[in-house]
Amino acid sequence: MSGLDLVMRAERAVVDGAPAPYSIGVAGGRVVAVEPGLDALADSGAARHAQLGSDVVLLPGLVDTHVHLQDPGNTEWEDFESATRAAAAGGITTLVDMPLDSVPVTVSLDALEVKRSRARGRVRVDVGFWAGVTPTNLAELVGLHDAGVMGFKCFLANTGLPEFPPVDVAQMRSAMAELARLDALLIVHAEDAGEIDRQPEASTRRYLDFLASRPKQIENVAVTAVIDAALETGGRAHVLHLSSGDGVSLLAAARRAGVPVTAETCPHYLALTAEEVPDGATEFKTAPPIREAANNQRLWDGLADGTIGLVVSDHSPCTPDMKHVHSGDFGGAFGGSASLQLTLPIVWTAARNRGFGIEDVARWMSTGPAGLTRMRHKGRIAVGYDADFCVLAPEETFVVDPDRLHHKQPLTAFAGRTLAGVVRQTWLRGEPVGDTPRGELLDRRTA
C-alpha cells in the first residue's frame, strides 16, 4: 500500500478483542489499513513510522460523552482549553459537552452557536454538543437536531438552574415522542423530583446522612418512567450516570423486552464506595450519590452482561467554596465529580482487579460512547475510522497529585490514590496531541 502518512506498529493493540500485534496505516487522518503482525506494511513507503514497545497498549482514543465544560459563563470552574488539555492527558480524543452549567444553556440555536463560536480554535481534542430539553423549548428541538447536535438531555429533578428547569414525566414523554419522529436520542438525568421531596434534608458533615437523603428509590422511580416512555413512544432513551444497582435489573428486563433504552455509569460509582467516604469530604458528593459496596458490585455485573454499555466521566468541577470544603456540609455542597484526566486509570485499576481485560475498558470507554451517539468515525481502530489513539502503559502506576492535573479546579476524590495505567501519548487524526489546538467541532451528521 502506497501513499501512507504513517504506519503505527504496536506489539499490543486493541483492534477487535484482546491485545495483539498489529500494523496500522494512516492517510489523511484516517485509518486505511489494519494488518496483523509487526512486519505488515513494511513496503508502504510511509512518510513516518511509529514503533510501540511491549510495555504499552494501543487503544482507540477514548470518547467521553458526558462532560460539563462550563464555557462560556462559568470559566472559573472549567473551560474549553483546560478541559481538552486534561482530556488529551487522559487519552481522551472526543468529548461531548452537556447543555447546562454554561451561560447560555444550550436550549436554542442561538445558544448553540454561542457555544461553538467560543470553542472554535481553542480545543485540543474533538468536541460535540448535546442540546437541552426544558418545559418550554419543544419547538426548538427540530432546529437543534438539524444543526447537528448529538442528541438531547433532560432532567427529571431540579437542576438548581432557573434557566434549565426539569421536565415532568408527561413533558419527557412528549419530547421523546417528538425525538422519536426525528430518530434522535434523549438522555435523561433519572432522579425523580417527587421522591427527592419526600426525603429528609441532610445538611450535615456525615456522608451517610447525605446518602440516606438520596436512596435508590429516587433513581428507580425515574428509570421506570424512562423505560415506560421509551416503550410507549418507541423513542431511543439513555439513562445517565446510573448509580442504583436496582436500576440495572430494571434496565435489563426492559432491554430483554426490546425497549430501546441504554445506560451508562461513571468511574466514581465503580471505584468508590459509601463505606470509605470520610465525613466532611465533600469532594465525594455527586448526584446521584456514591453508594454501598454491595450496590457497587451490581454495577459491575451490569457492565459484565452488557446492560450498562459505557463508562463516562460526568466531569463536573466547581470552585472549592461551592464544594463547602471548609464546612464539610454535604447538604449545601455542589454535587459533581472532577476526574476527566483520571477516568481511564481509575476504571482500568478497578476493572483489572475484577478480572476484566483492557479490551473491556476500550469497549466501555471508546466503542460504547461512540456507538451511543452514532459516531461513524470514532471509537475503534478500524479502516475508515479517525486515527485517534491512546498509548497506555497499563502496568505502570502513579499516585494522584491534584497539582499535576490539568483541570482548572483540581479538587478530586481520588487525591493520593495509587492508580494503574499511565497515558504515554494521545494521537488525534494521525498526529500526537500537542500545544496547538487541533480539535474539531463535531456535527452528528458527519462525525
For position 203, what pLDDT does the model report? 80
Please give the Cα distance from 59 to 361 (Å, whole number): 10
Cα–Cα distances (Å) from 189 to 78, 175, 218, 247, 265, in that order, read: 21, 14, 11, 13, 12
277 close to 284: Cβ distance less than 8 angstroms: yes
For position 225, what pLDDT does the model report? 98
Say if residue 65 is in the same domain as residue 113: yes
Look up residue 51 and give its amino acid: Q
pLDDT digit string, tens, across residues 6-47: 999 999 999 999 999 999 999 999 999 999 999 999 888 888
pLDDT exceeds 80 at position 70: yes
- 293-305 and 245-256 helices, crossing angle to 10°: 20
Say if residue 11 is in the same domain as residue 84: no
Say if residue 25 is in the same domain as residue 91: no
Other CB atoms within a 10 A radius of the CB of residue 182 amount to: 15
Does some domain include residue 424? no
Q: Which domain holds residue 169?
A: 61-376+396-418
Domain count, the chain: 2
Cα–Cα distances (Å) from 393 to 344, 415, 424, in that order, read: 11, 20, 7
Does some domain include residue 342? yes
Say if residue 22 is in the same domain as residue 113: no
Say if residue 242 is in the same domain as residue 201: yes
Looking at every residue in the chain, the average pLDDT score rounds to 97
pLDDT digit string, tens, across residues 51-60: 999 999 999 9
Q: What average pLDDT does range 297-320 have in this prediction?
A: 97
Say if residue 219 is in the same domain as residue 350: yes
pLDDT exceeds 70 at position 1: no
pTM of the model: 0.98
Say if residue 40 is in the same domain as residue 182: no
In the three-class reduction of DSSP (H, G, I as helix; E, B as strand; rest coil), residue 398 is classed as: strand
Does some domain include residue 131? yes
Please give the Cα distance from 133 to 287 (Å, whole number): 19
- Closest to 85 in 3D by CA, of 441, 406, 425, 408: 406
80 close to 124: Cβ distance less than 8 angstroms: no
Residue 3 confidence class, pLDDT cut points 50, 70, 90: confident
Please give the Cα distance from 168 to 221 (Å, whole number): 13
Say if residue 287 is in the same domain as residue 205: yes
For position 67, what pLDDT does the model report? 98
Say if residue 69 is in the same domain as residue 163: yes
Say if residue 31 is in the same domain as residue 93: no
Say if residue 369 is in the same domain as residue 300: yes
Say if residue 46 is in the same domain as residue 65: no
pLDDT digit string, tens, across residues 410-447: 899 999 999 999 999 999 999 999 999 999 999 999 99
Is the backbone peptide bond immediately before 215 cis, with ω within 30 degrees of 0?
no
Does some domain include residue 308? yes
**Radius of gyration of the chain measured on its C-alpha atoms:** 21
Handedness of CA 188, 189, 192, 193 (dihedral sign): negative
pLDDT digit string, tens, across residues 201-215: 878 899 999 999 999
Least-confidence region, from 175-189, 191-205, 346-360, 384-398: 191-205
CATH of the domain at 179: 3.20.20.140
64 close to 442: Cβ distance less than 8 angstroms: no
pLDDT digit string, tens, across residues 124-176: 999 999 999 999 999 999 999 999 999 999 999 999 999 999 999 999 999 99
